[in-house]
Structure 1
Amino acid sequence: MYSANTDRYQEMIYNRLGASGLKISAVSLGLWHNFGSVDSLENQKKIIHQAFDLGITYYDLANNYGPVPGSAEENFGHVLSRDMKAYRDEMIISSKAGYHMWEGPYGDWGSRKSIIASANQSLQRMGLEYFDIFYSHRPDPKTAIEETALALDQLVREGKALYIGVSNYDGKQTSAISKIFHELKTPFVVNQSRYNMFNRKIEGDLLPVLKDNNKAAVVFSPLAQGLLTNRYLNGIPDDSRAAKSSSPFLKKEQVEKTLNTVKELECVAEKREQTLAEMAIAWNLRQKEVSSVIVGASRSEQLQNSVNALKNLTFSVEELKIIDKILDDVD
């Protein structure tokens, strides 16, 4: 029977989501990969337990996470009901709707029909009464943003979500939906977007909008699919993501193209007495609007390495200048 670490809140940092009263752990666990029906349930359980023992309270899911789609929610729900039910009120559990989930015209995007049906299915798969945060996973170019906003607002009013978020919305889209939520008095608190040293788009587009609207960012892919680690410094391992020709997320060419940059960043990290991965996570959290960084894990031990980043979150002006110069040299 699982019993949580009694010291789990001692080292973790908890940041407020914008102007809301909700705080989340600075490091969050994402269940995009390694939590599907093809993965070991025992290993999933170890990772989820380890995350909670380290003070990680935010668990990020979506309806289509797997494979197969829906299985990550089912597996998380199994672990929760079996040995973590007593800790439900200490956890922030989120899910999303917007990417393809079932056949026919209602299985994805942002219509009221799709969002409400998807949220109900996700709650059932996870055995939950409500989500702490429910997201629109992507903007729908063929559905009025008002309809998407009203559907999300309905989830709150029905008690199926405590807070609302959007994901993969740019600054303009976030500003537009934020105005609607403000009129409706919907507790919209967060935008979830990709952000790392090799992808800084949100700095000039999204973050200023979030600042102006007192909203927060939760960011994913902080290690750029493994590029911002020491995994590829001495070549491409046969079992790595980049070695798989079928991988849509990381190609061999990307590793080769960024290798010199990664080596330079590794030197900066060493001077900070951090690993490159630790520095990359800390670098994301330097932004005031970034409340949490979502990390993945295939082994429970990896989570400790991610949380270690919190031991040194301070960057000197000179360090940031050096990092910017290194990144500016990337083609």
Structure 2
Amino acid sequence: MSHTPAPSRYDRQPYRRSGRSGLLLPTLSLGLWHNFGDVDRHDTAREMLLGAFDRGITHFDLANNYGPPPGSAEVTMGRVLREDLAAYRDELIISTKAGYRMNPGPYGEWGSRKYLLASLDASLKRLGLPYVDIFYSHRPDPDTPLEETMGALDQAVRSGRALYVGLSNYSAAQTREASAILRRLGTPCVIHQPRYSMLDRHVEGGLLDVLAEEGIGCIAFSPLAQGLLTEKYLASIPADSRAAKGGFLKPTDITPGRLAALRGLKELADARGQTLAQLALSWVLRQPVMTSILVGASRLAQIDDALGIIAAAPLNDAELAAIDAALALENATT
């Protein structure tokens, strides 16, 4: 069956230009890193994907290894595209990536031309699409020449498999060099996807400046630090949470100092009439180079909560200073 999207979907949030490109992205985009694999309920995933589109979220971000198992998030997205959104493909931005381990053997990860283009072909098959809108190099390869990796991205565009290319997890210096190579090839880098949140500010050490100088847009992943910057962990560690499952987020990440910082941030959020998650998203969005923010979700209500930042007033200097003071509690409390 085909989905009929909400007529008001483009009134729900503004769209921002990615660097100096012609690509516009919604302020909030939906990431399919978790909760869209074979281990998850398809009807819940479908509800979130269609609900997101009804709310003006036109960008859906994937990677070859998202699941679990790896590849299954692309299969889920492909099924929803085929069964519900086929008529609206031209209104959607679908991105995928290659770089982390996907297949056994020497051609199953990193940044060789062999791996990147074979992975992209496999992703397109799982998605049921002739092309993706953005194809990323998911991480830099220390052993493959950067010219080869960037040449593969260029080939992806020239062969019609992708419209734009991007980078993820590249340092400031690597991004500058990669951008120069892509520019010479005639396929400019339009977007960079780094990890960025109140609890992880490493991109402020140079990467954001490089993106501004190179005219590259930015889309932050893990803006809620795997759920730490929500109110989920303020009292205890829920049994069904990511921390309890011991994946990327572990119980040892929730220290007394970090809890003190989170409680201080919660007070600031309350004063603004926001949830802690909304405050964290507003804080990431304050960066001028930020095109969009990737949010994850396990239910549609979380997407609605995130969209609450659209109507919020920008953070002022006093509030930003108060946030820095709250964050300092993490190191001041033992």
What TM-score range do you get, normalising by the shorter chain? over 0.9
Corresponding residue for residue 240 of structure 1: 241
Give the aligned partner of residue 117 of structure 1. Answer: 118
In 2, the alpha carbon distance for the partners of 1:200 and 1:313 equals 22
Partner in structure 1 of residue 36 of structure 2: 35
The total of aligned residue pairs comes to: 330
Shift of 1:187: 3.1
3-state SS of the aligned residue for 1:259? helix
Partner of 2:305: 305
Task: Give yes or no for contact 1:283–1:313 (8 Å, CA) kept in 2.
Answer: no
> Which position in structure 1 is the counterpart of 2:314?
314
Measure the CA separation in 1 of the matches of 2:126 and 2:138: 18
1:281 aligns with 2:281: yes
The SS at the match of 2:243 is coil
Provide the rounded CA distance (Å) in 2 between the counterparts of 1:163 and 1:313: 32
Instruction: Report the 3-state secondary structure (helix = DSSP H, G, I; strand = E; otherwise coil) of the residue aligned with 1:183.
Output: helix
Q: Supply the distance in 2 between the matched residues of 1:78 and 1:131 (Cα, whole angstroms).
A: 15
| Residue 94 (structure 2) pairs with residue 93 (structure 1) | yes
| Alpha-carbon distance between aligned partners in 1 of 2:92 and 2:224, rounded to the nearest angstrom | 24
Aligned to 1:22: 23
Report SS of the residue matched to 1:243: helix
Unaligned runs of 5+ in 2: none
Given that 1:59 and 1:94 are in contact with CA atoms closer than 8 Å, whether structure 2 keeps it comes out as: yes
Q: CA RMSD in A?
A: 1.1
Letter in 1 for 2:262: V
- 1:261 maps to 261
Q: Is the 8 A contact 2:99 2:116 kept in 1?
A: yes
Provide closer, same or farther for how the CA distance between residues 316 and 79 of structure 1 changes in structure 2, counting only shifts above 3 A: same
Decide whether the 8 Å contact of 2:260 with 2:330 is kept in 1: no
Point out 4+ residue stretches in structure 1 off by more than 3 angstroms.
none
Residue 91 of structure 1: how far off its partner (Å): 0.5
2:221 equivalent to 1:220: yes
Q: Give 1:311 shift.
A: 1.2
Q: CA deviation at 1:313?
A: 4.6
Determine the C-alpha separation between the residues in 2 that align with 1:256 and 1:4: 45
Aligned residues of 1:63 and 1:95 also touching (Cα < 8 A): yes
Are residue 48 (structure 1) and residue 66 (structure 2) matched? no
Within 1, Cα distance between the matches of 2:139 and 2:249? 18
What is residue 71 of structure 1 aligned with on the other side? 72
Question: Relative to structure 1, is the Cα distance of residues 300 and 176 closer, same or farther in structure 2, using a 3 angstrom cutoff?
Answer: same
Give 1:328's aligned amino acid: A
1:170 is matched with 171
Give the whole-Å Cα distance in 2 for the aligned partners of 1:230 and 1:78.
33
Letter in 2 for 1:263: R
Instruction: After superposition, give the CA deviation of every residue in 1:278-307 in whole Å (9 maximum; x if it has no partner).
Output: 111111000011111101111112110011
* SS of residue in 2 equivalent to 1:202: helix
Other structure's SS at 2:166 match: strand
| Aligned 8 A contact 2:211 2:218 in 1 | yes
Q: Secondary structure at the residue paired with 1:9?
A: helix
79-88 or 308-317: which moved more? Answer: 308-317
How far apart, CA to CA, are the structure 2 residues paired with 1:247 and 1:326?
27
- Aligned-residue identity in percent: 50
Q: What is the letter of the counterpart of residue 254 of structure 1?
A: I
User: How far off its partner does 1:255 sit?
Assistant: 4.7
CA contact (8 A) 2:237 2:251 kept: no
State the secondary structure of the residue aligned to 2:25: strand
For the residue of structure 1 that corresponds to 2:63, the secondary structure is coil
Q: 1:58 Cα deviation (Å)? A: 0.7
When the two structures are superposed, what TM-score results if normalisation uses the length of structure 1?
Answer: 0.97
| Contact map agreement 2:195 2:221 (CA 8 A) in 1 | yes
Q: Confirm or deny: 8 A CA contact 1:96 1:137 kept in the other structure.
A: yes
Shift of 1:219: 0.4
**Structure 1 residue 240: Cα displacement:** 1.8
